[in-house]
Structure 1
């Protein structure tokens, strides 16, 4: 075991934050002590911080807001099976221990304490069982972070854990054993997580050991205390010599912190250890049987002899290696997984290893939205090298790349032809791509058409028409054309060369914002079996092989159909040279050349074949000997490569396809909203944030919802086009926008809103949306016949309804909010989501967003 660098692996972060409990002692004697509103901030703050570390890629951070026990078990199991690199498990919520203190239980949303049985805790996760699941995972390292009462008791449980692979688990705990801690006042994160987030959000390389040391210092300086009045001291437990990289350090070469060096003359114990390792390599049977016990003894003696020095060097391997030069590789989000796999394989290959066993080059792989990457290289290289407060591509896109691997060769022309301003970066592409993958319509097997001949040689529109003839309820989904080239290329076929982009968009079925990547789309469809069985997905063909690992057991198998008017993916190696970046020019050029030659040669070909790619030349033969399920070995009439100008035109048409729009906001103004009214996370604050997604050509209005008779609302802002300042002034007027001394009837208000918006959309196809912001206090009026009436009207009106619950669990399956949004084709958001960003995105999809 040694210091662990998770880059290039499939990593996961599972963030479990239980802020709301169904049973609390104020209401029932077998409940938990109380609610934990600060934990809501914990999970959102930590998620954002981890996104910035560069260790976890797109879709690798999973948040579990106040899960029930069975939901937690399922999430933990999935995370354990989906990770082959670093798995970070974080828990914040109530913790409780057995009478002896030898067992720690993590209390989930439906947790209870059985009366009279103080060691029985229904619906709580026993930490020992959690460790068993984590130790048995595919992950190479597991970091467990606990922010709860009695967190320090976990150290003893880990120490006494006798199961296999305990050594790959590293524990970080918010407090010493047998201590209760402050849960915070709800205005921000809990003290431990607040300090943790600030450290993760900083700059530079960060290892777990350094994080722990600084956490102890910061907690001590801040004077945080336990419920007993003594100092709150974070704790840690892991095997000697272990460490994990938690932040890669954007914008600077990556180097490992120096490790302690042994004295010039190694001690006799180290020489003996080396001899034993040599005997192991020579196959000595006795050493094979007894080496572990001997190594433990010798390491202990060496630690005594060296006063602690030399152990880190022994564990880390080659202590004499100098830190390798770090290459920064930016790629399309659809390609990130493959490029990461290639980089990880290259790092340990003979091509990247010296005779002394040292790495020649390190590689950081990250993805950036395809449109953002093109724009940054075309127009923002000056700011990329010298960022300002308002224009910072290092923050918005990522570090300055040494290598760019776009998914379309035409992206290079989109950059060079339109470069503006002072250009600080020159792009030098290969003359040809190094791989190919067509974009396909992946149809569920149960909806697939006839033989192989029917799967090729037709346009995308014709394939979709044929699918809908086979099943009128079949859906087609596509990912975000601004985020991946694959989605933009699919959109070229979807629009069919016509100017009617809106008509093309209406061929798609989409609830909420589109999935960011094709892998995300394929991984979320199985969450709903009927949807999975009836939905065709526009995705790159290679994901028919490598994009199925997220949910193999429940996935609907698919058949690829090949539109002849959708250009395919053409990953291309592009060298990026930065002005005034010549300090290590020769070394960096050698590093780029080494990775290039390996990636475009046999080494890269092996990785690309395993992931389902095709060759570039001729008929684009599969690189693998056997095609994946549903893939044709040699499809006919694949589309010609894309042109950059055509891609730009389609992207412009996509951006204008959804506006101008109409949005009707319903703001719950009943008395129960008093505590959820002020500030940016209150009802009016969230509404104001979402107005940035609307432009002067959009029409919108705001209703104040209160009262249980009549229409159930009054107008705050009349429906029509508005300047942003006008709406902001109305929402800031405390005399008009205020909480009323009344209850609300969402049943009446939603029926009125659906009728109003259905009437406005009779004569055109402008996109429409209803947004209802509420604390769900009055959802008892959305039950039985009243709920049925709303669902029937939502189905008839054809207007999406975004239900925005200011409480956790509002969007749980079966709740009224979830049913209304699903029936109407809208999106449901609750306090477990980032409400500000989520609502803004939803409104922006309807409006033009040019305020």
Structure 2
């Protein structure tokens, strides 16, 4: 057995902790929840490695909630730079492939798609490949995630003819095919916590000793994985059958009264002082306190009394838990970071008074949890667990508008017992209008103020018919919900209410909306054409402060300020929990200090740097001297948000995206005979769209033929159906020895669907599939009548042509689709998946 001592060899440790995710439940594509405990994992392990003596100054790097590109870039850099030991640590969500043959590490942008697509993830095979090619002599991988134990099988299966992978050793937090619990916001997860304690135990710690000790400690503590299974750490094979690696060396021996020539004392002290400088930013203490704290831990307390009298090291500070809106999180996090290191949060002994943990969750889910589910927040259940779905019980809640507080108290008043009490401050802490962010090239003739959102959009569409409107998810962030109120005309004083279904048709037909305005602005530059024509409803401050995603070149945008969309008015709300009075006085003091700092000069400076305006008066920019181009210096704010109007808009949004109605028109005239059979024939194409419909969706199929009074026959009656019924109906469809009248069929279909949409705002769609041979009947007055009805019915029409030129400019299908805000597809497109997506946007999909 060889023992590898990497000290002074040029080592690297890359500590990756994904605590924040962009897509979480209840988003069906999201991961199970945020992981606030992982924030402690990063700092706990970083401190232990810095104290351990194996890694030198600057050799330990942490990576907080990276996107995949940021992770792989940092990994490649570490692989290039490491000469001795390379340690890679990952904590976060992870999933396996269906077969279990691959482990996917889920980064901040992770999503889970139908068909097991996993965008935003990095495969462990890819990670192993990078590590095998690294310059390091020895590599240690530590995984604290679900299914961590599956990594060993992937190591064994990795194709490695040159045996490069054999320098990679694995330490895993749980046995294969097991999920671990996410922990709490207060401490690191059990595996990482115990690992750090062993590394901090003093003296030399080898990988073999670390594994044995952590395994023993976790067994003694009876830590559980999910499903009440014991959580048992794993190691590869085990690794020290052939190799062992030194991971901590502890401080060198110290004697009293070291002389100037003592070579063992001064290098260690210089190293200790260097670590103290790095600890200043992390701990929030001043430099002397950080030095003394490290002297206490690194030197076993030697000389502390001589230097400080009776004071001793700082006690762990109380941790404040702050919950906020997804759009506000970067700003509130920056403010919290600044506060933690401020004089207001430092005692006379240079110790930190409190820490602040900031997390965000979907605004609608938070309102529901605080209003109706505080009992489950206190005592989580498997089927109802706000601690898992939202985060820890907050001490402070900062919603984007005070109206959210009223929504919570209104809902709580109907509950038999409420376990949380809200104490909001009277005034908001800042203000930011919701603006229409328009590419500079499109916004030249747009009046920036004094118009409703509807009028601004009408002007924009008239100026450029290709302009697209984008909005984040109204269920996740209040800025999108406030914008939706403007779209629907729901805000008091708005000029005319719109049908929610019609209003939603104004938005670009993309996939699921982004969960926050910041993510929306990050996503637009992914397609240059979309970026150049895409307008976005976002809080103004994001145009000033930037968006925090990987640097991208995006279209310059100017702001138009709709006068019927309420702005963001973040509220500071103290949350008190029943039976949470054990440390109530200390927690009240910590909350008061944070609130006073945030609303005072230093806090306003941070808010101003992030683009916020004053909460009262003229609503000028707090940092007006550096106003970004394209923003208005002074704005007249729209009225404050109304809680009942917000709730109504959210309900209408849900209806407009609820169970849908689809009417299929299948050209069954004689000219379709050569385009009928097989998966690429008319019935076969429609059959492939059926998975986009679910059990609650209503749909029917008409066979279009005949030119007299009767222009169609019913193949499948309109209603809810099992997919098998629709498939049988399409299998039984036949080509008729007749011509077709698309004018009459479309006229009847538009009238039929309009009648069904009068009592609700459910999404609707007409699909007309044809070979285009009968387009001669779609000219003159006949075409104009269809265009008028398509424009008035509020039902999108998807025109599907089996001709490769069916959607050419000026063709009837193109004009009809445009009039009804639908889409034209022809044989030149990837027709089947595109049509499936159109149907799926209207339907609820298969269960």
Give TM-score, length-normalised by structure 1: 0.58
Q: Is the 8 A contact 1:175 1:234 kept in 2?
A: no
Maintained 8 Å contact 2:20/2:34? no
Deviations 1:362-382 (A, max 9, x none): 222221211221122122222
1:800-811 alignment runs, 5 A limit: none
- Asked if the contact 1:802/1:826 (under 8 Å) is kept, the reply is no
- Identify if the C-alpha distance between structure 1 residues 758 and 369 changes in structure 2 by more than 3 Å, giving closer, same or farther: farther
Distance of 1:429 and 1:479 partners within structure 2: 27
| Structure 1 equivalent of residue 327 of structure 2 | 334
Deviation at 1:414, TM superposition (A): 1.6
CA separation in 2, counterparts of 1:583 and 1:446? 59
Q: Which residue of 1 aligns with 2:530?
A: 531
CA distance in 2, matches of 1:382, 1:686: 43
Partners of 2:276 and 2:511 lie apart in 1 by: 61
Distance 2:529 2:591 in 1: 47
Aligned counterpart in structure 2 of residue 768 of structure 1, from 764, 767, 770: 764
CA distance in 2, matches of 1:434, 1:565: 22
2:586 match: 587
1:159 aligns with 2:157: no
Q: Whole-Å Cα distance in 2 between the matches of residues 332 and 566 of structure 1?
A: 18
Please list, as runs of the form range in 1=range in 2, the aligned pairs for 1:684-699 lying within 5 A after superposition: 691=694, 694=696, 698-699=697-698
Give 3-state SS (helix, strand or coil) of 1:418's partner. helix
Aligned-pair distance for 1:338?
A: 1.2
Match status 1:459 vs 2:457: no
Cα 1:555–1:591 shift into 2, 3 Å: same
Shift of 1:390: 3.2
Deviations 1:447-499 (A, max 9, x none): 11348xx3111211121122122222222222222221111211222222444
Q: Any idea what the Cα deviations from partners look like across 1:769-817, whole Å, max 9, x if unmatched?
A: 599xxxxxxxxxxx998666599969855697999xxxxxxxxxx9998
> 1:720 matched to which residue of 2?
718
- Could you say if the C-alpha distance between residues 612 and 282 of structure 1 is closer, same or farther in structure 2, counting changes exceeding 3 Å? closer
- Report what 2:773 is aligned to: none
1:50–1:802 distance in 2 versus 1, CA, 3 Å:
farther
**Change in CA separation of 1:529 and 1:577 when aligned onto 2, cut-off 3 Å:** same
Distance between the aligned counterparts of 1:493 and 1:613, measured in 2? 21
C-alpha contact (below 8 Å) 2:614/2:622 kept by paired residues: yes
Answer whether contact 2:468 2:534 (CA < 8 A) is retained.
Answer: yes
Residues 240-287 of structure 1, C-alpha deviations (whole Å, 9 max, x = no match)? 569xxxxxxxxxxxxxxxxx999998896885457546998999xxxx
Bigger radius of gyration: 2
1:428 partner SS: strand
Find the aligned partners of 1:231 and 1:801 in 2 and give their Cα distance. 59
Distance in 2 of aligned mates of 1:239 and 1:615:
55
For the 8 Å contact 1:150–1:178, the answer to whether it is kept is no
Q: Number of paired residues?
A: 622
In structure 1, the partner of 2:424 is: 429
The equivalent residue for 2:760 is none
1:501 and 1:653 in contact (8 A); partners too: no
Q: Residues 509-551 of structure 1, C-alpha deviation per residue, up to 9 Å, x if partnerless?
A: 2322222211121111111222211121111100112234536
Find the residue that maps to 2:427 and give its secondary structure. coil
What are the equivalent positions in structure 2 for 1:509-658 lying under 5 Å apart?
509-550=508-549, 553-624=552-623, 625-635=625-635, 637-658=636-657
**Is the Cα contact below 8 Å between 1:152 and 1:176 reproduced in 2?**
no
Task: Return closer, same or farther for 1:385/1:762 CA change in 2, 3 Å cut-off.
Answer: same
Partner of 1:483: 476
* Cα distance change of structure 1 residues 633 and 191 upon mapping to structure 2, 3 Å threshold: same
Q: Matches of 1:13 and 1:658 in 2, distance apart?
A: 21
Q: Which residue of 1 aligns with 2:439?
A: 444
What corresponds to 2:317 in structure 1? Answer: 324
Does the 8 A contact of 2:19 with 2:34 survive in 1? no
Aligned twin of 2:125: 148
Give yes or no for contact 2:660–2:764 (8 Å, CA) kept in 1. yes
For each residue in 1:46-102, what CA deviation from the matched residue of structure 2 results, as whole angstroms up to 9, or x when unmatched? x96684423799xxxxxxxxxxxxxxxxxxxxxxxxx9745476999xxxxxxxxxx
Give SS of 1:457's match: coil
Distance 1:652 1:785, change over 3 A: closer
The corresponding residue for 1:351 is: 344
User: What is the DSSP-based 3-state SS (H/G/I as helix, E as strand, rest coil) of the residue aligned with 1:456?
Assistant: coil
Q: 1 CA distance for matches of 2:82 and 2:655? A: 47
Counterparts of residues 67-216 of structure 1 (less than 5 Å):
85-87=64-66, 131-132=79-80, 147-148=124-125, 151=128, 154=131, 157-159=134-136, 174-175=151-152, 179-180=156-157, 195=175, 198-204=178-184, 205-206=188-189
Task: Report matched runs for 1:288-299 at 5 Å.
Answer: none
Mapped pair 1:54 → 2:46: no
Shift of 1:820: 6.1
1:153–1:177 Cα contact (<8 Å) kept: no
Determine the C-alpha separation between the residues in 2 that align with 1:476 and 1:399.
35
Distance 2:645 2:436 in 1: 21
**CA offsets per residue over residues 139-184 of structure 1, 9 Å max, x none?**
x9988987339939936825259xxxx999999994599953599x
In the alignment, structure 1 residue 362 sits paired with structure 2 residue 355: yes
Q: Give the Å deviation of 1:729.
A: 9.6
Match of 2:499 in 1: 501
Length-normalised TM-score, structure 2: 0.58
Superposition deviation, residue 699 in structure 1: 0.9
Q: Distance in 1 between matches of 2:140 and 2:156?
A: 26
Deviation at 1:671, TM superposition (A): 12
Work out whether residues 597 and 603 of structure 2, in 8 Å CA contact, stay in contact via their aligned partners in 1.
yes
SS of corresponding position for 1:617: coil
Compute the displacement of 1:605 (Å). Answer: 1.5
Q: How does 1:24-39 map to 2 (within 5 A)?
A: none
Whether the 8 Å CA contact 2:479–2:539 is kept in 1: the answer is yes
User: In the TM superposition, what is the alpha-carbon distance from 1:392 to its structure 2 partner?
Assistant: 2.7
- Does structure 1 retain, via aligned residues, the 8 Å contact 2:90–2:143? yes
- 8 Å CA contact 2:436–2:560 kept in 1: the answer is yes
SS at structure 2 position matched to 1:568: coil
| Cα deviation 1:266-320 (Å, max 9, x = unaligned) | 896885457546998999xxxxxxxxxxxxxxxxxx9xxx9x9999x9xxxx994
The gaps in structure 1 that reach 5 residues or longer are: 15-46, 58-82, 93-105, 107-124, 184-189, 243-259, 284-301, 673-683, 704-714, 741-750, 772-782, 804-813, 829-838
* 1:272-421 paired onto structure 2 within 5 Å: 272-273=266-267, 275-276=269-270, 320-419=313-412, 420-421=414-415
C-alpha spacing 1:320/1:652, structure 2 compared with 1 (3 Å) = same
Cα offset, 1:427, TM superposition: 0.4
**Change in CA separation of 1:151 and 1:361 when aligned onto 2, cut-off 3 Å:** same
Specify the SS of the correspondent of 1:148: helix
| Secondary structure of 2:571's aligned partner | coil
Q: Report the Cα distance in structure 2 between the residues aligned to 1:408 and 1:614, rounded to whole angstroms.
A: 14
Give the distance between the partners of 1:499 and 1:408, measured in 2 at CA.
23
Relative distance call for 1:825 and 1:580 in structure 2 (3 A) is same
Q: Distance in 1 between matches of 2:238 and 2:273?
A: 50
Unaligned 5+ runs, structure 2: 1-10, 24-28, 40-61, 92-104, 106-121, 161-169, 196-206, 216-224, 278-294, 305-310, 666-676, 680-686, 703-713, 732-739, 758-762, 768-799
Q: Which residue of 2 aligns with 1:677?
A: none
CA distance change for structure 1 residues 334 and 786 in 2, over 3 Å: closer, same or farther? Answer: same
Displacement of 1:347 after TM fit? Answer: 2.5
